[in-house]
Structure 1
Amino acid sequence: MANAWRGEVEIVVDGERHLMRLTLGALAELEAGLETGALVDLVRRFETGRCSTRDVLALIVAGLRGGGWSGTARDLLSAEIAGGPMAAAKAAAELLARAFMLPGES
């Protein structure tokens, strides 16, 4: 079960449950891989509903890697995420929000 206090978000990939978490290293890797802008720009895109599938994939990969997964974005191209693209986008947004929330905020 995901621990929201640690910023964890659960996702099921190819039938296997994973915990995602944006550690400092995962955030640095995410920011280095962004096509445009910085992490703040990514947050704005999610807040305004202008995020791309590339944004969602980048966040999912960073979160999985922060949770201990050793794969790459290429590994997810043919993977099945439970709930489909909408569930993936929701998990990515929740992951990003939890990374910047203080305990007790909602």
Structure 2
Amino acid sequence: MPNPHRGDVEAIIGGRRYTLRLTLGALAELEAAFAVENLDALGRRFASGQLGARDLVRLLGAGIRGGGTPLSDEEVAALPLGDGLEPIATAIANMLERCFSSGGDASPRP
């Protein structure tokens, strides 16, 4: 069960519930995937709103793995979009907001 105090977000994909969580390891994975040097740069990259499908796969994969489900990015990319992209994009946005906001605003934390 997702715990919002840990930054957990629930996503239902293909009828299955996943817990998304950005752990320190997931953030390090994303720094490498997006070729940025630090969390501030990572937060700015996400705040730019310029995310493609591969970016969403990387984010969703890191969040799913951080939440405890060991899926590769290839397996994440193959998940069905039966409910469309909006629920997944919303879950990713919520996960990023919980990780990078402080006190309710959406500015990146250092």
TM-score of the two chains, using structure 2 as the length reference: 0.77
User: Cα–Cα, structure 1 residues 91 and 82, in superposed 2: closer, same or farther, change >3 Å?
Assistant: farther
SS in 2 for 1:92: helix
Q: Report the Cα offset of residue 4 of structure 1.
A: 2.0
Match of 1:94 in 2: 94
CA distance in 1, matches of 2:24, 2:81: 25
The answer to whether the 8 A contact 2:60-2:76 is kept is no
Q: Report the Cα offset of residue 19 of structure 1.
A: 0.6
* Structure 1 runs of 4+ with >3 Å offset: 36-42
CA distance in 2, matches of 1:40, 1:84: 31
Q: Over aligned residue pairs, what C-alpha RMSD do you find?
A: 2.0
Match of 2:36 in 1: 37
Question: CA offsets, 1:3-61, max 9 Å, x none?
Answer: 22211111112211011100101111121122x43454443343232222222111110
SS in 1 for 2:49: coil
Whether 2:60 is the aligned partner of 1:60: answer: yes
SS in 2 for 1:84: coil
Whether 2:28 is the aligned partner of 1:28: answer: yes
Q: Give 5+ residue unaligned stretches, structure 1.
A: none
SS in 2 for 1:37: coil
Aligned partner of 1:88: which letter? Answer: I
Aligned residues: 103
Q: Give 5+ residue unaligned stretches, structure 2.
A: 105-110
The answer to whether the 8 A contact 1:21-1:63 is kept is yes
Percent identity between the aligned chains? 41
Aligned partner of 2:49: which letter? Answer: G
Aligned partner of 2:7: which letter? Answer: G
Match of 2:19 in 1: 19
